[in-house]
Every structure is written in structure tokens, then in C-alpha cells.
């Protein structure tokens, strides 16, 4: 039996089970680090009743994958916090640790919309923009973890004078196309704007420019896009069309683009997959 934690900035989603079919979950509000981890550990310990073999954590970031620490987050109390270490001490089992988006693509690859595909990409378009990729069956890590939301794309300031909301880069992909960027530009939340609002022409363009760059770099077979902004589900079709126009026939095979299948539970199910990998690797 495995434990799973999707560690988010506003809530921790915790789970215990062997797969999506028997997964039991709960939500814990994110408060101070020690109190939040203690609550998560207590719940997992009770639910698993001594039968726990490993825990997986998919965490908000940035994180240091070597040490299991959350690093330079704007949430001051969580900065340089030993999340993986605290959970490991609390539960006494090995911990598999990765970013929330890497956990999500791992879960989708094992149990969701990316089954049977060795090269795939998960993007979340919400409070921020993040991406996790699998290449040749392996989650992409490197010097650190990818920060796909922070790529630079063309931004025509005459067409869209909004300067972008990223505190580091201004008009990177996240700065132009995240939920807060939409709200900052139009003065309304993404889900309150009607589907025929001009916001979605611009959003389609920016998301498609980002995705075209990921296609040219990673050549994924399938791309799953989740996150709050994608509740505007017309975007799946408009973005798919625009990616085709941007690639302009140069890349002859284009990946399928669609929603993830595990929905709200993608993160915690991905953390469960991390726990499973941890267990298998000894």
C-alpha cells in the first residue's frame, strides 16, 4: 500500500491506496510547513494502518530534486523547507519526490490519457504555467527540473500592450497566458469571461506558440493540458488549430492535444505512481 501527497500552495491532497481503483483521499489546507506536514503524515499513517511501503510527493516548486527541499518559493515559510525529509521521518518509509507536473504526467502515463505513449507532455495552465515531460519512458530531469512556463515567446506589444505578470521575466509564457495574466489584462477571472471574448484569441495564440516550441524541442506524441484556465474547453480545439498554423507544415506529424483523464486527482494519483516507482527501484 502506498501513500501519496500532492503538495500545493493552497492545499495538500493526500491519498492512500494501490492505484486509482482503491485510492482514498483527503484535503488539508496549506498552513505552516510543520503543521501541514504533521496533518498529512497523521492522516496517511491512520489510513494505511501499518501497511505502508512507500510514499510519493508531487510538490509545488521550485524544488531541489536531489535534497527533497522546496527552494526559492515566494511563500516565505516554505522556503528551503525539507519536505521530503520531514515526510520520510514522519512515516518511516522511502519517499519518491518530484514536481507536481512531473508527478501528473507520470500518473497520466500509468493510469490516464498518456497510457501506451513513450513521449508525452503534461501542461497546466492555472495560477502558473508548468510542464512535465516523459521522453523514452523516463521523466525529464536534468541539471534541475524543467520550468516550461518560463520560455519566451513572441509578444506583439501593439496588439497586446499588457506587460506580463511574471515577477522574474514579465512577458514569458506564464507572464502572458496564466490565469493571473488573463485577470490582469482583462479585469475578470478566466472562468467569468464568455467563450467568444477576445481574451481567447490571444490566449490561443500564446498557448499555441508555447506548445509549438515544445513540439520542436521534445517531439511529444501526445500533449495533455489541464489547469483552471482550460475549463474554457473551446481552447482545446482553437489551440490545436493554431499549433498547426504556427508549425506551417514543417513538422509533418503533429501530436494529439487533449485534456488529462485523471482530472482533479491527477496530482495525487501521480504521487501514487511516484511511490510505486520508488518501491520498485528498491
Give the side-chain half-sphere CA count within 13 A for 230.
Answer: 21
Contact 145, 99 (CB under 8 A): yes
Which of these ranges, 10-18, 107-115, 210-218, 234-242, lies near a copy of itself under the rule CB under 8 A? Answer: 210-218
Q: How far is CA 51 from CA 18, 44, 47, 97, 274, in A?
A: 11, 10, 9, 20, 17
For residues 42 and 265, give the distance between their C-alpha atoms in angstroms, rounded to a whole number.
Answer: 21
Choice between 168 and 187, CB closer to a copy of itself? 168
Which of these ranges, 27-35, 107-115, 196-204, 205-213, lies near a copy of itself under the rule CB under 8 A? Answer: 205-213
Tell me which residues in 230-259 interact with a copy of itself (CB under 8 A).
246-255
Query: Residue holding cell 500564446?
Result: 206
From 83, 155, 164, 175, residue interacting with a copy of itself (rule: CB under 8 A): 155
Residue 160 as a binder of a copy of itself (CB under 8 A): the answer is no
Residue 144 as a binder of a copy of itself (CB under 8 A): the answer is yes
**Alpha-helical runs (H) found in the chain:** 33-48, 83-91, 100-111, 173-177, 179-186, 199-218, 234-247, 266-280
From 11, 45, 141, 277, residue interacting with a copy of itself (rule: CB under 8 A): 141
Shortest distance, position 68 Cβ to a copy of itself, whole Å:
16
Residue 119 as a binder of a copy of itself (CB under 8 A): the answer is yes
**Count of H-run helices and E-run strands, the chain:** 8, 12
For residues 247 and 204, give the distance between their C-alpha atoms in angstroms, rounded to a whole number.
Answer: 14
Shortest distance, position 278 Cβ to a copy of itself, whole Å:
17
From 1, 38, 135, 163, residue interacting with a copy of itself (rule: CB under 8 A): 135
Query: How many residues appear in the chain?
Result: 282
Which residues of this protein are in contact with a copy of itself, per CB under 8 A?
Answer: 62, 71-72, 118-119, 131, 133, 135-136, 138, 140-155, 168-169, 209, 212-214, 216-221, 246-255
Amino acid at each position: 500500500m502506498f501513500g501519496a501527497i500532492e503538495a500545493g500552495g493552497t492545499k495538500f491532497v493526500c491519498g492512500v491506496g494501490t492505484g486509482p481503483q482503491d485510492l482514498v483521499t483527503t484535503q488539508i489546507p496549506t498552513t505552516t510547513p510543520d503543521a501541514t506536514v504533521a496533518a498529512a503524515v497523521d492522516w496517511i499513517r491512520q489510513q494505511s494502518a501499518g501497511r505502508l511501503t512507500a510514499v510519493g510527493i508531487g510538490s509545488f516548486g521550485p524544488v531541489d530534486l536531489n535534497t527533497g527541499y522546496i527552494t526559492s518559493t515566494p511563500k516565505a515559510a516554505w522556503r528551503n523547507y525539507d519536505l521530503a525529509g520531514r515526510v520520510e521521518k514522519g512515516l518511516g518509509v522511502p519517499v519518491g519526490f518530484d514536481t507536481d507536473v512531473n508527478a501528473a504526467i507520470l500518473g497520466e502515463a500509468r493510469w490516464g490519457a498518456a497510457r501506451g505513449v513513450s513521449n508525452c507532455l503534461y501542461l497546466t495552465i492555472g495560477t502558473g504555467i508548468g510542464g512535465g515531460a516523459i521522453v523514452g519512458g523516463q521523466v525529464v530531469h536534468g541539471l534541475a527540473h524543467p520550468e516550461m512556463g518560463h520560455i519566451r515567446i513572441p509578444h506583439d506589444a501593439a496588439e497586446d500592450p499588457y506587460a506580463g505578470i511574471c515577477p522574474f521575466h514579465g512577458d514569458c509564457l506564464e507572464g502572458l497566458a496564466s490565469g493571473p495574466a488573463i485577470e490582469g489584462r482583462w479585469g475578470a477571472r478566466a472562468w467569468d469571461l464568455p467563450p467568444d471574448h477576445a481574451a481567447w484569441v490571444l490566449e490561443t495564440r500564446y498557448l499555441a506558440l508555447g506548445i509549438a516550441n515544445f513540439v520542436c524541442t521534445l517531439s511529444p506524441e501526445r500533449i495533455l493540458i489541464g489547469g483552471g484556465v482550460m475549463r474554457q474547453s473551446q481552447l482545446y480545439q482553437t489551440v490545436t488549430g493554431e499549433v498547426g498554423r504556427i508549425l506551417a507544415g514543417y513538422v509533418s506529424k503533429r501530436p494529439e492535444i487533449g485534456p488529462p483523464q485523471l482530472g482533479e486527482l491527477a496530482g495525487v494519483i501521480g504521487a501514487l505512481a511516484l511511490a510505486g516507482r520508488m518501491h520498485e527501484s528498491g
